Amino acid sequence: MRIKHKVNVRIADDTDMYNLYFGFDDNLSETTIDTRTKNASGTINIGMGTNEDLVFGDVDDIQGIFIKVYQDVTIKFNGGTEEILIKKSTGASYAKFFAEMAITSVNISAPVDEDVIGSYCVWGD
Protein backbone atom coordinates (compact mmCIF):
# COMPACT_ATOMS: atom_id res chain seq x y z
CA MET A 1 0.00 0.00 0.00
CA ARG A 2 1.22 3.51 -0.74
CA ILE A 3 0.26 6.59 1.28
CA LYS A 4 1.03 10.10 0.04
CA HIS A 5 0.36 13.32 1.87
CA LYS A 6 1.47 16.89 1.59
CA VAL A 7 1.06 19.35 4.42
CA ASN A 8 2.94 22.56 3.77
CA VAL A 9 1.97 25.80 5.44
CA ARG A 10 3.52 28.71 3.57
CA ILE A 11 3.09 32.34 4.64
CA ALA A 12 4.45 35.26 2.63
CA ASP A 13 4.06 39.01 2.49
CA ASP A 14 3.28 38.87 -1.24
CA THR A 15 0.76 36.96 -3.35
CA ASP A 16 3.51 35.44 -5.52
CA MET A 17 4.92 33.71 -2.40
CA TYR A 18 8.47 34.99 -2.92
CA ASN A 19 9.03 36.75 0.41
CA LEU A 20 8.32 33.92 2.81
CA TYR A 21 7.82 34.46 6.50
CA PHE A 22 7.45 30.72 6.99
CA GLY A 23 7.44 27.72 4.71
CA PHE A 24 9.25 24.68 3.53
CA ASP A 25 10.19 23.89 -0.06
CA ASP A 26 6.95 22.83 -1.74
CA ASN A 27 8.69 20.19 -3.88
CA LEU A 28 10.14 18.51 -0.79
CA SER A 29 6.95 18.58 1.28
CA GLU A 30 5.24 15.50 -0.12
CA THR A 31 5.67 12.40 2.00
CA THR A 32 5.41 8.89 0.55
CA ILE A 33 4.98 5.91 2.87
CA ASP A 34 5.26 2.37 1.50
CA THR A 35 5.74 0.51 4.80
CA ARG A 36 2.11 0.48 6.04
CA THR A 37 -0.30 -2.29 5.07
CA LYS A 38 -3.81 -1.28 6.19
CA ASN A 39 -6.21 1.65 6.25
CA ALA A 40 -9.74 2.41 7.37
CA SER A 41 -12.03 5.32 6.64
CA GLY A 42 -15.57 6.34 7.28
CA THR A 43 -18.09 9.04 7.91
CA ILE A 44 -18.63 10.86 11.18
CA ASN A 45 -22.25 11.29 12.33
CA ILE A 46 -22.51 12.17 16.01
CA GLY A 47 -25.68 13.42 17.67
CA MET A 48 -25.59 16.66 19.67
CA GLY A 49 -24.24 16.27 23.17
CA THR A 50 -22.95 12.73 22.58
CA ASN A 51 -19.61 11.15 21.72
CA GLU A 52 -18.35 8.20 19.71
CA ASP A 53 -15.16 6.22 19.22
CA LEU A 54 -13.94 6.03 15.63
CA VAL A 55 -13.97 2.54 14.13
CA PHE A 56 -10.63 1.29 12.80
CA GLY A 57 -11.65 -2.00 11.18
CA ASP A 58 -8.69 -4.37 11.08
CA VAL A 59 -6.05 -1.64 11.53
CA ASP A 60 -4.39 -2.56 14.83
CA ASP A 61 -1.24 -0.41 14.78
CA ILE A 62 -2.45 3.06 13.71
CA GLN A 63 0.30 5.47 12.69
CA GLY A 64 -1.65 8.38 11.18
CA ILE A 65 -5.04 10.08 10.98
CA PHE A 66 -6.91 12.68 8.96
CA ILE A 67 -10.23 14.13 10.18
CA LYS A 68 -12.51 16.66 8.45
CA VAL A 69 -15.56 17.98 10.35
CA TYR A 70 -18.17 20.62 9.57
CA GLN A 71 -18.81 21.52 13.22
CA ASP A 72 -16.52 22.23 16.17
CA VAL A 73 -15.64 19.04 18.11
CA THR A 74 -13.46 17.87 20.94
CA ILE A 75 -11.22 14.85 20.49
CA LYS A 76 -9.55 12.56 23.02
CA PHE A 77 -6.72 10.30 21.88
CA ASN A 78 -5.47 6.99 23.24
CA GLY A 79 -7.94 6.70 26.13
CA GLY A 80 -6.74 9.95 27.66
CA THR A 81 -8.80 12.58 29.43
CA GLU A 82 -7.18 15.60 27.76
CA GLU A 83 -9.57 17.10 25.20
CA ILE A 84 -8.35 18.79 22.05
CA LEU A 85 -10.77 21.34 20.59
CA ILE A 86 -10.97 21.21 16.80
CA LYS A 87 -12.60 24.53 15.93
CA LYS A 88 -13.34 25.94 12.49
CA SER A 89 -11.46 29.12 11.69
CA THR A 90 -13.46 32.29 11.20
CA GLY A 91 -15.41 32.07 7.94
CA ALA A 92 -14.45 28.45 7.24
CA SER A 93 -17.09 25.80 6.55
CA TYR A 94 -15.01 22.96 8.02
CA ALA A 95 -11.99 22.15 10.17
CA LYS A 96 -9.25 19.63 9.34
CA PHE A 97 -6.97 17.70 11.67
CA PHE A 98 -3.94 15.70 10.51
CA ALA A 99 -1.33 13.83 12.54
CA GLU A 100 1.30 11.19 12.09
CA MET A 101 1.39 9.53 15.50
CA ALA A 102 0.76 6.24 17.29
CA ILE A 103 -2.97 5.96 18.01
CA THR A 104 -4.89 3.37 20.00
CA SER A 105 -8.27 5.13 20.17
CA VAL A 106 -10.04 8.32 19.06
CA ASN A 107 -13.16 9.63 20.79
CA ILE A 108 -15.02 12.57 19.25
CA SER A 109 -17.58 14.64 21.17
CA ALA A 110 -20.27 16.77 19.56
CA PRO A 111 -21.30 20.11 21.05
CA VAL A 112 -24.49 20.12 23.14
CA ASP A 113 -26.42 22.12 20.54
CA GLU A 114 -25.31 20.69 17.20
CA ASP A 115 -24.96 17.34 15.39
CA VAL A 116 -21.54 16.65 13.89
CA ILE A 117 -20.85 15.35 10.41
CA GLY A 118 -17.53 14.69 8.71
CA SER A 119 -15.13 12.03 7.53
CA TYR A 120 -11.89 10.38 8.63
CA CYS A 121 -9.12 8.06 7.53
CA VAL A 122 -6.49 6.16 9.53
CA TRP A 123 -3.50 4.12 8.35
CA GLY A 124 -1.07 1.68 9.85
CA ASP A 125 -0.68 -2.11 10.12
Q: What pLDDT sits at residue 1? A: 94
Q: What pLDDT sits at residue 85? A: 97
Q: Give the global pTM.
A: 0.90
Q: What pLDDT sits at residue 26? A: 86
Residues in the chain where the model's pLDDT stays below 50: none
Distance, in Å, from the CA atom of 4 to the CA atom of 12, rounded to the nearest integer, reads: 26
The CATH code that applies to domain 35-124 is 2.60.120.10
Buried b (16+ CB within 10 A) or exposed e, 78-89: eeeeeeeebeee
Distance, in Å, from the CA atom of 36 to the CA atom of 125, rounded to the nearest integer, reads: 6
Could you state, in order of their start, the residue ranges of all structural domains in the chain? 1-32, 35-124
Task: List Cα–Cα distances, 61 to 55, 98, 119, in angstroms.
Answer: 13, 17, 20
